Structure 1
Amino acid sequence: MKVYRFDRPGSLEHLTLHDEATPEPERGEVLLRVRASSLNYRDIAMIHGTYLRGQQTGLIPLSDAAGEILAVGKGVTDFKVGDRVINTFHPRWYGGDPPSTLGSESYGSHRDGWLTELKVVSQEAVIAAPPDLSFEEAATLPCAALTAWTSLTGLRALRPGQTVLTQGSGGVSVFAVQLARLFGARVIATTSSAEKAARLKALGADEVINYVETPAWGERVRELTEGRGVDRVLEVGGAGTLAQSIKAVASRGEIALIGFLASDTVDLGFNDLFRSGGIFYRISVGHRAGLRDLVRAITASGLKPVIDTVFPFERALDAWRHFDDRAFMGKVVISH
């Protein structure tokens, strides 16, 4: 079988194609024919050395995939040959509080990921794919869609009529716009161009703020909410956007800390956090039970993931380069 591995860290040019032996499923395992995989910001961060959890060298990259089951090991009862599945981002977080090993078992950083033709995993590490989505669409769900879902269900599930703030037009933020509408929420989005603003509105955003033209967008959010602020912020920028998110959040509103896209540093003190009245917590994508809830919601609603570009398996490096340009909207997918 063909697999991609990062033979050395530090450069996309070190992503090389290898021929390796076909794996065999053991008891409780399934063998998958991977049909599509998708990229997330963490995949670029690992190349640039900015991934916060570190990574091992020599691994197969990517954390998200969809495929079909080619064979099952003894004792497998959940799936049969031919079933369409997607993987769980955390292979051993099934529900409830995360296990203590959560950060040391991630695909692409601490164990082999999904940029491969075939893969063996435990039957608990996959769930049934939404029946109405293509493999390419289904491969966008394990990280970005589940992160958005977990952020919106949060410490307290989002309620109809509440207001959500999203940032930019990457995978998590686009899914958040779509999913927040399913919850009956009002959505305020930020972006950098009129073209992306129009597309975000078409997806369901009620208001869009151009953060280039309005760098103090936290104050603009306050104006749009009659001084109250938003009930939920999906904070994907990190240090470079957190100060504005704090200005935008309502008292007792939630700020879900997700990413670190904006690398600018900002001097935040205790008084800034205290005055905000917000609730801050980190999102680590989500668990298997949450992914199953998400799939049910997508299936019932007919929601379709937004895919920017699909690249063939043999052009995986081009997919990475396109993703690294940061000009895309939604998800970048590799079709196997």
Structure 2
Amino acid sequence: MKNLVIFGARGASREGAKRVTVAGVTVSCGIIHTAAPDFAAELSPGHVLVRVRSFSCNYRDRTFFHAMRRVPSHRFTAVGSEFAGEVIRVGAAVTDLASGDLVVGNCHYTGWLINEDGVREGVVTNQASKEYLVAPASKLSRVPRSMTIEEAGAFGLNMQTAYSMVRRAAPKPGDHVLVMSATSNTSLAVLHALRDSGVRVYAATTTTDRDNELEALGARVIHMPRTLKKPTVDRVAREIRGFTHALDPFLDLNGQSAVENLRPMGTYVTCGLLAQNPHSAQDPSLGNGVSASQLLLPAIMKNLSLVGNCIGLTRDLQAALDDFERGRIGVTLDSVWTGNQVGGFLDRTFNDPRRFGKTVFRYAS
């Protein structure tokens, strides 16, 4: 079976392999072939064998590249935390999935880590580039027939997180919702989720050449650097007497600005940090980061609600799938890669500032 892999960074580089640098670590990468699973072997009753057709990486996956810095170059790991695949076989107790179904990962997460059935919550796999995987049926969701293989490979974890953030923020028609780091993949998914909801959406970004795309998602664009002769977050906040909600993928990058520009009784929802590994922690855009007092003092003084969000629930993913089937939302895809385009795929995913949306790798049928 095919595996898109990265090799350890210690020792000689792999002869003929592509090289890519992610999170400060330069590794060899490529497609390798390993033994396929035994298709005749009996599956556990509640499990499903899936053939991965497409997959993508998320910001969190940088951490796994950083971990390869001390790994010998003869060792390797598959990558990716988002996938779409075809059901090959199901266990005897599985009744809601069948051979031939196209599925994505259901990363249902409450924070208990293990659910009442003993199934681990959260991301289905951190090695989505393995061509075959076995997962509990509860960790998979069927996608609409109208969804392409490429769209599905960029959908599950991304949209499940976005829909959870919007659900927990609970904006009402007419509210003013600020979306921080608007060209990040999570924020683009949030913009899709908010589209046509009746709220007034503001997309805050340092990117200067994506106004048309962000406006097409229903947002008013706010440019962050004060040197630009365009609206900045604090200026717009004064115009509208503060935002009612702020949704933010990077607490340590945007948290202070977001809470300072919320109106009293506002809500701030965040799902992560920019500094998820030592290399990212050195990003100059972080400055000195954000302190607890910089977040909590405005929250106390203005009676704000601060909400932490990790992924989402099954119902969040299902709501996103239903909205896609109804044509209410789409998927912002940057590019699709295949064959031996491994280095280009990884470099575009993690390093290229021109990327807008998800990059997807597709295995040939």
Which category describes the TM-score, using the shorter chain as reference length?
0.7 to 0.9
* One-letter amino acid matched to 1:163: H
User: C-alpha displacement at 1:150, in angstroms?
Assistant: 0.7
User: C-alpha displacement at 1:14, in angstroms?
Assistant: 4.6
User: C-alpha displacement at 1:101, in angstroms?
Assistant: 4.5
Distance 1:192 1:137, change over 3 A: same
CA distance in 1: counterparts of 2:167 and 2:26, whole angstroms: 36
Q: Which residue of 2 aligns with 1:8?
A: 8
Q: Which residue of 1 aligns with 2:280?
A: none
TM-score (norm 2): 0.78
Aligned length: 317
Q: Which residue of 1 aligns with 2:19?
A: none
User: C-alpha displacement at 1:69, in angstroms?
Assistant: 1.0
- Percent identical residues: 23
Mapping for residues 112-151 of structure 1, pairs under 5 Å: 112-151=126-165
* One-letter amino acid matched to 2:3: V
Q: Which residue of 2 aligns with 1:38?
A: 56
Q: Secondary structure at the match of 1:311?
A: strand
CA distance in 1: counterparts of 2:142 and 2:5, whole angstroms: 27
Mapping for residues 45-194 of structure 1, pairs under 5 Å: 45-48=63-66, 59-90=77-108, 93=109, 97-101=110-114, 107=123, 112-154=126-168, 157-167=170-180, 168-194=182-208
Contact 1:145 1:175 in 2 (8 A): yes
Q: Which deviations, in whole Å up to 9, do the C-alpha atoms of 1:22-43 show, x marking residues without a partner?
A: 2244322211121111221111
CA distance in 2: counterparts of 1:78 and 1:204, whole angstroms: 36
User: C-alpha displacement at 1:267, in angstroms?
Assistant: 4.9
Distance 1:296 1:149, change over 3 A: same
Structure 1's unaligned 5+ residue stretches are 50-56
Q: Which deviates more, 4-13 or 76-85?
A: 4-13
Distance 1:30 1:197, change over 3 A: same
Contact 2:50 2:134 in 1 (8 A): yes
User: C-alpha displacement at 1:287, in angstroms?
Assistant: 2.1
CA distance in 1: counterparts of 2:146 and 2:212, whole angstroms: 27
TM-score (norm 1): 0.85
CA distance in 1: counterparts of 2:314 and 2:91, whole angstroms: 21
Q: Secondary structure at the match of 2:195?
A: helix
Mapping for residues 251-330 of structure 1, pairs under 5 Å: 251-261=264-274, 263-268=286-291, 269=293, 270-325=296-351, 326-330=353-357
Q: Secondary structure at the match of 2:98?
A: coil
Structure 2's unaligned 5+ residue stretches are 10-23, 68-74, 275-284
Q: Secondary structure at the match of 1:31?
A: strand
Q: Secondary structure at the match of 2:103?
A: strand
Contact 2:255 2:290 in 1 (8 A): no
Contact 1:239 1:265 in 2 (8 A): no
Distance 1:258 1:119, change over 3 A: same
Q: Which residue of 1 aligns with 2:258?
A: 245
CA distance in 2: counterparts of 1:4 and 1:283, whole angstroms: 30
* One-letter amino acid matched to 2:205: T
Contact 1:246 1:276 in 2 (8 A): no
Contact 2:187 2:248 in 1 (8 A): no
* One-letter amino acid matched to 2:56: S
